[in-house]
């Protein structure tokens, strides 16, 4: 399904990556932001639980990589990637602290644990001897290359999903589409950086397998926890929530396991390249018309 008014795919060439200083006003956004689809709403809203700390770690790892990058174009891409990921982290953290709070869902414990996890990660990295720190940094880049395949797959889906058909809240829709567009825009950076540091395709595959399953499992668990916190819904058990989630997927109201499975297989193909996922021109076209991105440009 095509998003209305999205330009047809064309070769956008190399795009200079940069962060867009977006802001989102969630004060009128409902908890069930996809009307009539609370499970789909929570399955997608669960991204707000994992993205802030995850993307902080991406920023930290890539910042540690910068001194070792001698290729100027790759270095510029990494700097742009860092800026975009920092803005993604800040935006979803804002959603955690304000959007859910205004609906009576207290995530302060989750936020505290996430902050502690990131602090421990930084301290552990800083305590390593330089040679070992370099090796761990390269391993981190290699793992992030696989995770970025997941995020670009989701980003392409977000760009093309017809949220308007479901009457979805326009602010949250714009937040996810803006984020999705930037994921497509920078989808090759982590892969290129991992290859620059000598990561073999075998290592890329192994790290991808090790990381994607717990990430998907964490998102499903996050959606379940959010659904249980909604007083208007029955207290779903984990199995019941999984069943309801599959039904929402069958209604095409949310990202499906089938699409993720297809992306999983694509990454394992010998001829895989990140450019196979999404369309840069489409991403750039959306970012040119995104209400939040346009407001950031005008500011």
Q: How far apart are CA 287 and CA 18, in angstroms?
A: 12
Instruction: Report the sign of the C-alpha dihedral through residues 283, 188, 260, 35, in that order.
Output: negative
pLDDT in tens, 194-218: 999 999 999 999 999 888 888 889 9
Are 171 and 26 a contacting pair, CB within 8 Å? yes
Written as one string, the DSSP assignment of 199-229 is --HHHHHHHHHHHHHHHHHHHHHHHHHHHHH
CB atoms closer than 10 angstroms to residue 208: 20
pLDDT level of residue 13 (50, 70, 90 thresholds): low
Instruction: Report the sign of the C-alpha dihedral through residues 219, 188, 22, 177, in that order.
Output: negative
**Is 198 part of any domain?**
yes
pLDDT in tens, 59-74: 999 999 999 999 999 9
Phi-psi region of 198 (alpha: psi -120 to 50; beta: other; left: phi over 0): left
| pLDDT for residue 12 | 54
Q: Greatest CA span in the chain, whole angstroms?
A: 56
Are 71 and 116 a contacting pair, CB within 8 Å? no
**Is 31 part of any domain?**
no
pLDDT in tens, 264-282: 899 989 899 999 899 999 9
- When divided into structural domains, the chain yields a total of 1
Of 61, 74, 79, which is closest to residue 19 (Cα–Cα)? 79
Cα 30 off chain centre by: 21
Q: Which long-range contacts (C-beta less than 8 Å, at least 24 apart) are formed by 238-241?
A: 241/39
**Is 3 part of any domain?**
no
CB atoms closer than 10 angstroms to residue 20: 18
Are 193 and 74 a contacting pair, CB within 8 Å? yes
pLDDT level of residue 30 (50, 70, 90 thresholds): very high
Percent residues over pLDDT 70 in the chain? 95
Q: How many Å is the Cα radius of gyration of the chain? A: 19
pLDDT level of residue 1 (50, 70, 90 thresholds): very low
pLDDT in tens, 85-130: 999 999 999 999 999 999 999 999 999 999 999 999 999 999 999 9
Instruction: Give 17's contacts (C-beta < 8 A, 6+ positions apart).
Output: 76, 77, 79, 80, 81, 83, 84, 185, 186, 189
- Please report, for residues 23, 98, 176, 208, 234, the alpha-carbon distance to residue 95 in angstroms, rounded to integers and kept in the order given: 11, 5, 12, 28, 24
pLDDT in tens, 164-204: 999 999 999 999 999 999 999 999 999 999 999 999 999 99
**Is 204 part of any domain?**
yes
**Is 215 part of any domain?**
yes
Task: Note down the domain range covering 253.
Answer: 38-112+119-298
pLDDT at 48 over 50: yes
User: Mean pLDDT across the stretch 81-88?
Assistant: 97
**Is 188 part of any domain?**
yes
Q: How far apart are CA 47 and CA 271, in angstroms?
A: 30
**Is 21 part of any domain?**
no
pLDDT level of residue 256 (50, 70, 90 thresholds): very high
Q: How far apart are the first and last CA of the chain?
A: 33
**Is 12 part of any domain?**
no
């Amino acid at each position: 399904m095509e998003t209305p008014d999205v330009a047809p795919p064309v070769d956008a060439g190399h795009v200079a990556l940069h962060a867009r200083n977006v802001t989102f006003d969630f004060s009128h956004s409902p908890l069930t932001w996809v009307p009539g689809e609370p499970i789909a709403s929570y399955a997608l809203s669960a991204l707000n639980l994992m993205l802030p700390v995850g993307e902080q770690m991406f920023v930290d790892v890539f910042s540690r990589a910068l001194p070792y990058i001698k290729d100027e174009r790759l270095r510029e891409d990494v700097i742009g990637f860092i800026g975009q990921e920092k803005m993604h982290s800040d935006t979803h953290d804002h959603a955690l602290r304000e959007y859910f709070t205004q609906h009576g869902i207290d995530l302060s414990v989750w936020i505290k644990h996430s902050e502690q996890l990131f602090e421990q990660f930084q301290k552990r990295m800083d305590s390593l001897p330089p040679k070992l720190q370099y090796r761990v940094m390269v391993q981190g880049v290699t793992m992030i290359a696989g995770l970025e395949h997941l995020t670009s797959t989701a980003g392409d889906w977000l760009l093309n999903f017809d949220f308007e058909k479901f009457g979805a809240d326009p602010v949250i829709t714009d937040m996810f589409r803006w984020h999705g567009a930037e994921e497509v825009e920078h989808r090759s950076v982590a892969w290129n950086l991992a290859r620059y540091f000598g990561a073999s395709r075998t290592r890329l595959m192994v790290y991808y397998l090790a990381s994607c399953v717990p990430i998907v499992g964490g998102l499903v668990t996050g959606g379940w926890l959010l659904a249980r916190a909604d007083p208007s819904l029955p207290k779903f058990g984990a199995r019941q929530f999984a069943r309801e989630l599959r039904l929402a997927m069958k209604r095409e109201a949310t990202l499906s396991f089938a699409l993720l499975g297809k992306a999983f297989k694509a990454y394992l193909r010998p001829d895989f390249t990140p450019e196979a996922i999404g369309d840069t021109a489409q991403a750039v076209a959306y970012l040119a018309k995104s209400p939040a991105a346009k407001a950031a440009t005008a500011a």
